Structure 1
Amino acid sequence: MEIAMRAPLDPPFEEISPPLRAFLGRTLPPSMSPAVLGDNVEEGRILPVSWTRLHTESNLGSHSPEIIVIVDAPQLVLHPARFVRAMLTIRETWPSALIHAPGVSGADTMALLTFLGVDLHDTARCRVSAVSGSVIDSFGPRKCQSDESLEELLSISVQAMLAEARTIRAALARGGMRALVESRASSSPRAMEMLRFRDEALAVSHPSSGPLVVRSGRRFEVAGGEVLHSPTVRDWHMFIDTCWKPPAQQTRAMVLLPCSATKPYTRSPSHAAFRRRLHHPSIHEMMVTSPFGLVPRELEMLWPAAHYEVPVSGRWSYDEREMLCERLALLIERVQPEVIIDHALPDGLIEQVKRRTKHDIHLLECTELSGTDDLVSKGTTVIRTLRSDSSPTAETNLELLEKVGLCVIDGLNLKRSSGRELALEQLRSVARRLHGSDAWLDHCSLSGRPPQWRVCFQGHEVAEWLPNRGRFAFRANGIPFLGQTNVFPLVELTGDHPLRGDVFARMILDTPNNLREGQDVIIVSDGKVVGMGRVVSPGWECGRTPGVQVKVTRRVPSTSL
């Protein structure tokens, strides 16, 4: 095998390097795995691999290639589950290497292959298609049209690939790769199989994956029903199902509100109207939306809840209803609120929840609510304030919401709590999402003005909550204190690389393998805390790829807490 370069790609980028060569060795069809090949690949800049070789050659992981070639890619793509497993294994074993899957790329498959990890694409499939009198565009192979000559077929397919490459680069830049892949895969059953197998594989190997904090302009684009199974959505579902709990002042009563086109929801006119009618901070506000199911008010500023766009039609598909029913059933069983005001659920869904859960749910129409005594019952009382086939912001529905809200406040004798005490509990919920624990907020207090609260420990400011960015900004003087809480993961540097700028791969001595993009970490050198930063790459890649691994946000000054 020989790969020739057409541009100076090696440092110092002044002249074109000689071609790269590698010995392919024996290759057997994937169906014959795990047959022993009887030879081993040699160390070099190119590493040829196959499904059989991945399962039989135990020392492959010791190689450090720059380019990996999946030599049996045309046969492997006929088995979507195997191809996905091979891609995930290769990408996580050699995260800094470029991956080439020869003979499978085209304008219709480039987006999915790039999404799975393929970096280098060729025109072999386009050439074969042109010989047979076909063209490959973004919708797949097609017969040539009457105004297309046979000599132009290859050029048409290649131009379609170049156009698709530009579309992919734009989607990667704006964070919309998932939506592009779903739109392309919808025309190919095999491509959709690969996407589903990828989601299932990541749900097992990386149940908590995806970024925690993103740049302000990034969007989570919702393209179709497959998004319900994406790692980002599954991660949110798992957190709400297992880790989320309401602030201590809001455990007894909850109101379910619809989502809005404006994100975060608080800034929308509809939610301003809802909040004017509720009157009391002791009723927890929970938004009902697809694909995330439930979004607590205190987490609406976080990724992805503040960054997604979904068509608002008021109609729920079967899969969406099932997803929402499961989220509600798990939440009611775990949190067990005394009263839930339903101002958002589609017709008949709360009855589904009641049938699915063992927790005692008492359904009460707002017209049946004659006084506070109706709220006294075992389990959870659900009161619906949304009339069928009407808007949640209709005046009659808002009046019902206000009436029921006042009745719940009186019936449960809810007390108003300090605004700062409630805000601290809400920030604890944020910390559990972003940092996995709220222990660093123990013995802390709040100062400043809402919503940009300052977090103080023993009178010293250690962090500031930035709602517009969905994260905390930590102060340099508080980093040693934060390091003592054992909440933040440690990134250990080698002793011969002092912390002067950002953290690069060659500077890292040790790091956890479960880090997530945007996660806050403590930077340690020679056993001392020297700074704090945010992770740029996921844990399986951190320290093993070129470039910045941790963006340093603060360095420890000479005097600190």
Structure 2
Amino acid sequence: MTRYFEVHQRDGAARTGSLYLNNTIPTPAVIDPSSLKPEAEGDIIYPGSQWHFGNGKAATQATLKLRERVGKNKLIIMPSCTYSSMVAGDVTCEKIDVPADEGPTGIAYSERDPETTRDLYVADGIGCHEGNPRRLLAELMKVRKNIAPDSALYAPNIALPENVAMLIYLGVDILDTTRATIAAFEDKYMTSAGFIHLDRLAELPCCCAHCSGTSAKEVKGMDKKQRARLLEKHNIATLEAEVALVRQRIRSASLREYVEGRCRHDPALVAMLRLSDVEYDFLEERTALFKPAPLLATTSESLTRPEVVRFARRVQQRYTPPEKDILLLLPCSARKPYSISMTHSRFRKALGKNLKLVQEVIITSPLGIVPRELEVTYPAAHYDTTVTGYWDAEEHRWVEECLEDFLLKHPYKHIVAHVEDEYRSICENVSKKLGLEITYTSDGNVTSPTSLHKLEDTMKELCSGLSYRGDYR
């Protein structure tokens, strides 16, 4: 357990925290890699690789001397000679024998020689996988799973304004400005939506301190070195601003929504988000059971986010409905919980004294189905989604699967659906597939007097002679 890194708040695998060194570093953070040099007097120091020292013994001695010189309030990343995963497993390097209790330490993560007592782990070479979302995700998850939960993770040479939200969402705590500096010397002007080549800029789309006093034309007219330095300052400022915004998103428990929107600028990031949702266990065990912020389902990826999948699975695996013979399927409402909405108030009024004899289940996207007893739980009472009257094929398939699984596990003598449009289409598809008879009580508008009277009459007829057997409410 680390004594120098503390996690303050989590949102999925992302977290805000502090590295307590000579100066407290709030995380997620962006550092300047040049500050890692021993002579730079930074709070995080990397003395060099084992190749630089020649062997492990010399590297150990140099590290011990460095610790003695800088004191116990600076984090030293151990000299490493990590290899690519392509190198044979029997190739190893000498172990650096520097006790972890002599002060804060970091180490390059290695499958060949895993350690669990360091304050910081470096995902060495992670930048090589930037163009391969599947491999990048696999490497990040591997490191995050195999190090202590309260250790910081540093991913060097990969941070860009458009991808830091995704990297932090997957558990990275520290990034650096390497790519921002390289981009500046390539005449690339960074924005939160990706870079723009300087020669394509008619104006500078930024009001930072480095851009506000000049114009695109003036920047283009500078000599190469001067232009690169200005672009570097702008790029780093853009990167730091993005990380600061991500920190705030973590505090407000809304990072997932931000990531879903931010990744639209890059197909590789969209692929990475979708692949991460496939790794359900990794994200689910790091996702809170309840959040103070609403769950905003505005993209197709919202159907596979951990909170949605977890709710649907628990309805299927853990929920035991009251013993009732009649199932009433209803559409969702914009207001949550559903029962306080005007629409559902009318439904329940139409049921009258027969309400206790009926099992109510609400059909909705993205949650699938919500039994009335669970409508006040998270996220059933805390989500919002885009309402257009149009459901895409993925929504149809997902909600149909949820309803189908529920009906297979919980048979009813009578099923009534007071639904229209897409909801009715879903019910009809499930009814046909399972060979079930469903009675429909809506005539074009679920809240029209005619439809409500039909619902009332149907329920009176079905409930006639039934007695209340109790439920869990």
SS of structure 2 residue aligned to 1:348: helix
SS of structure 1 residue aligned to 2:302: helix
Do the aligned partners of 1:41 and 1:47 also contact (CA within 8 Å) in 2? no
Q: C-alpha offsets along residues 302-330 of structure 1, whole Å, 9 cap, x if unaligned?
A: 11111111122222111000011111111
Change in Cα spacing, 1:209 to 1:247, as seen in structure 2 (3 Å) is farther
* Partner of residue 79, structure 2: 23
1:182 aligns with 2:263: no
1:257 aligns with 2:310: no
Unaligned runs of 5+ in 2: 1-35, 45-70, 203-214, 220-226
Do the aligned partners of 2:253 and 2:293 also contact (CA within 8 Å) in 1? yes
Range 75-84 or range 328-337, more displaced = 75-84
RMSD, matched Cα: 2.6
* Partner of residue 191, structure 1: 269
1:331 aligns with 2:406: yes
How far apart, CA to CA, are the structure 2 residues paired with 1:179 and 1:337? 38
Change in Cα spacing, 1:6 to 1:322, as seen in structure 2 (3 Å) is same
- Over the matched positions of the two proteins, sequence identity in percent amounts to 23
The higher-RCO structure (CA 8 Å, 6+ apart) is 2
* 1:116 partner amino acid: L
How far apart, CA to CA, are the structure 2 residues paired with 1:18 and 1:239? 46
1:415 aligns with 2:462: no
How far apart, CA to CA, are the structure 1 residues paired with 2:133 and 2:457? 55
Report the alpha carbon displacement of residue 2 of structure 1 after superposing the two structures with TM: 4.6
* Partner of residue 439, structure 1: none
How far apart, CA to CA, are the structure 2 residues paired with 1:221 and 1:40? 50
In the TM superposition, 1:111-510 aligns within 5 A as 111-144=165-198, 145-146=201-202, 147-148=215-216, 149=219, 150-151=227-228, 152-203=230-281, 210-214=287-291, 217-248=292-323, 250=324, 252-279=325-352, 280=354, 281-344=356-419, 346=422, 347-357=424-434, 360-362=435-437, 382-387=438-443, 390-410=444-464, 413-417=465-469, 421-422=470-471, 425-426=472-473
Report the alpha carbon displacement of residue 34 of structure 1 after superposing the two structures with TM: 4.7
Change in Cα spacing, 1:350 to 1:40, as seen in structure 2 (3 Å) is farther
* 2:418 partner amino acid: H
How far apart, CA to CA, are the structure 2 residues paired with 1:134 and 1:284? 60
Report the alpha carbon displacement of residue 344 of structure 1 after superposing the two structures with TM: 2.8
Change in Cα spacing, 1:111 to 1:207, as seen in structure 2 (3 Å) is closer
Structure ranking higher in helix proportion: 2
Change in Cα spacing, 1:223 to 1:36, as seen in structure 2 (3 Å) is farther
Change in Cα spacing, 1:34 to 1:226, as seen in structure 2 (3 Å) is farther
Range 16-25 or range 303-312, more displaced = 16-25
TM normalised by structure 2 equals 0.74
Report the alpha carbon displacement of residue 153 of structure 1 after superposing the two structures with TM: 2.0
Do the aligned partners of 2:82 and 2:108 also contact (CA within 8 Å) in 1? no
Change in Cα spacing, 1:415 to 1:66, as seen in structure 2 (3 Å) is same
Report the alpha carbon displacement of residue 161 of structure 1 after superposing the two structures with TM: 1.8
Do the aligned partners of 1:209 and 1:235 also contact (CA within 8 Å) in 2? no
* 1:246 partner amino acid: P
Report the alpha carbon displacement of residue 397 of structure 1 after superposing the two structures with TM: 2.2
Change in Cα spacing, 1:409 to 1:142, as seen in structure 2 (3 Å) is same
Q: C-alpha offsets along residues 311-357 of structure 1, whole Å, 9 cap, x if unaligned?
A: 22222111000011111111111101111211236243223213433
Unaligned runs of 5+ in 1: 9-14, 363-381, 427-561
SS of structure 1 residue aligned to 2:279: helix
Change in Cα spacing, 1:221 to 1:295, as seen in structure 2 (3 Å) is same
Do the aligned partners of 2:43 and 2:74 also contact (CA within 8 Å) in 1? no
Change in Cα spacing, 1:265 to 1:309, as seen in structure 2 (3 Å) is same
Q: Which runs of 4+ in 1 moved over 4 A?
A: 1-8, 205-209
Report the alpha carbon displacement of residue 35 of structure 1 after superposing the two structures with TM: 4.5
Change in Cα spacing, 1:397 to 1:160, as seen in structure 2 (3 Å) is farther
* 1:200 partner amino acid: V
Q: C-alpha offsets along residues 221-280 of structure 1, whole Å, 9 cap, x if unaligned?
A: 2231101111111111111222222112x2x11111111222111221111111100121
In the TM superposition, 1:75-86 aligns within 5 A as 75-86=128-139
Report the alpha carbon displacement of residue 16 of structure 1 after superposing the two structures with TM: 9.4
Do the aligned partners of 1:209 and 1:231 also contact (CA within 8 Å) in 2? no
How far apart, CA to CA, are the structure 1 residues paired with 2:169 and 2:142? 14
Do the aligned partners of 1:26 and 1:37 also contact (CA within 8 Å) in 2? no
